[in-house]
Amino acid sequence: MIDFGIDAPFGKRDAIDDGDPNPRGESLAHLSIIFVCLAGFFVILRLFTRYFHTKAFGADDALIVAALALACCMTAAYNGEAGNGFGLHSTQIDAHHKILAFKWFFAAQILYKVTTCLTKMSLGMLYLRIFPDRKFRIAVVSVMAVTAAYTLAAVLLTIFACKPIEKSWNKTLPGVCVNSISIWYSTSVLNIITDILIIGLPINEIRRLQLPLVKKLLLCALFSLGIFVIACTVIRMITVSPQTTASDQTYYQAVSNSWTFVETNVGIICACLPIVWVPLTRQVLRWLGLGGEETTVTSKSGQVYALGSHNHVSSARARTSRRDAEGDSVEELMFDGIKMTRRFSAHVTEEDQNAKPATPADDRPWEKIPKPRS
């Protein structure tokens, strides 16, 4: 293979024009499609769960849909990178393909930062939706504000890292660029810190719930799935640092990008699992022939409410107010059809107290006829 390098004139043939194999680039392209499809499946399942369970969508659902849309754009950017030489050595690619590849890479960096921010915002809005404690809500809002602030700073630093901006994808232009290593490490560290905070925030609230220990542990496990996202970030920091990619950026950056899209899409999946685990486990139980049994709850007035295998509360659910329908309690969100919720119990009690007593049948109506005046 002839080495044209970055200064090779346009029109010369390179490894891409010759159709040389690019296993790293093909792996990047194919895996990005697989992972975004998995994330899309869980987002769609989440929306179906919301529609059939509560009939109410929240800001957390809108944010996760937006994150998925940007993840799809990231997949397109990764395929653009691979199609223009990411995964091949720099000496195998001409200047034209390098410029195109780094344009896609420039877009992918911005999309990655915004997508991870939206995923964390979705989890934060979910916490605000199900946990009522005031101090907890202040902590969640604070973490969300920090996440939004450093994401905005990181996006601006990425866009204006080089002067002129075009130098970010055309390395031959005259100009200067800031130290990308410091930006890369600071962004990764802040990602890890906010991930740890988001994972740890609901633990104390779960500990205070009046639930069996096994269910508390299950809730903690569901909200701690973000550990996989942290693991992806750490592995990317250790295995493919900026010092490594600087020596042969198109070759090593393909590996770094592979961990980036895994981190992004696994984050979306983890944000959906607390919502969708009930229908998933229910379907698995049906496949195993272990369908749920009907559970009944009796209110103080003696009225019986059924919680069947489809997990719908007929009487109480139909009479909930709009505000109640838009919110979630932890038990209702996680254990619908498995355990009675505090909210449902409150509805039953309140309705029983406010219910008007039935008027007894009047068996002597003639006594109410007014007597004529004498």
For 41-95, how does the pLDDT look when each residue is reduced to its tens digit (9 = 90+)?
A: 999 999 988 888 777 788 999 999 999 999 999 999 999 988 888 888 888 888 8
Host H or E run for residue 306 = strand 304-307
Residue 106 has pLDDT above 60, yes or no: yes
Mind spelling out the 3-state secondary structure of 109-170? HHHHHHHHHHHHHHHHHHHHHHCCCHHHHHHHHHHHHHHHHHHHHHHHHHHCCEECHHHHCC
Identify the band that residue 290 occupies on the pLDDT scale cut at 50, 70 and 90: low
Q: Parallel, antiparallel, or unpaired: how do β-strands 176-177 and 304-307 relate?
A: unpaired
**Taking all residues of the chain, what is their mean pLDDT, rounded to a whole number?**
75
DSSP bridge partners of 298: 304
Beta strands in 105-238 (DSSP E): 162-163, 176-177
CA-to-CA distance for 45 and 323, rounded, in angstroms?
24
Rounded Cα gap, residues 153 and 339, in angstroms: 44
344 and 312 Cβ atoms separated by less than 8 Å = no
Among 244, 234, 117, 263, CA closest to 180: 244
Identify whether the C-beta of residue 95 lies closer than 8 Å to the C-beta of residue 34.
no
Residue 27 has pLDDT above 50, yes or no: yes
Longest Cα separation, the chain: 127
Q: Which domains does the chain have, with CATH numbers?
A: 23-286 (1.20.1070)
Greater confidence (207 vs 266) lies with: 266
The phi, psi pair for 21, rounded to 5°, reads -65, 145
pLDDT at 240: 65
Residue 207 pLDDT > 60, yes or no?
yes
* pLDDT computed for residue 219 by the predictor: 77
Proportion of the chain above pLDDT 90, given as a percent: 25
| CA-closest candidate to residue 270, choices 73, 52, 116, 140 | 116
Helix (H) or strand (E) holding 295: strand 295-298
* Average pLDDT of the segment spanning 247-274: 85
Other CB atoms within 10 Å distance of the CB of residue 366: 6
Highest mean pLDDT among 8-12, 64-68, 339-343, 354-358: 64-68
Q: Which helix (H) or strand (E) holds 201?
A: helix 180-207
Q: Among 28-32, 45-49, 56-60, 137-141, which range has the highest average pLDDT?
A: 137-141
Dihedral, CA of residue 238, residue 242, residue 246 and residue 248, to nearest 10: 40
Higher pLDDT, 243 or 295: 243
- Look at residue 26 in the predicted model and tell me its pLDDT: 86
Element (H, E) at 305: strand 304-307
- Which of 301 and 233 is assigned the larger pLDDT? 233
Residue 197 CB partners (closer than 8 Å, separation 6+)? 143
**Which residue did the predictor score with more confidence, 60 or 211?**
60
pLDDT of residue 259: 84
Residue 223 has pLDDT above 50, yes or no: yes
Higher pLDDT, 258 or 271: 271
Whether 194 contacts 147, CB under 8 Å: yes
Cβ neighbours around 10 below 10 Å, total: 9
Q: Which of 17-21, 39-43, 156-160, 304-308 has the lowest mean pLDDT?
A: 304-308
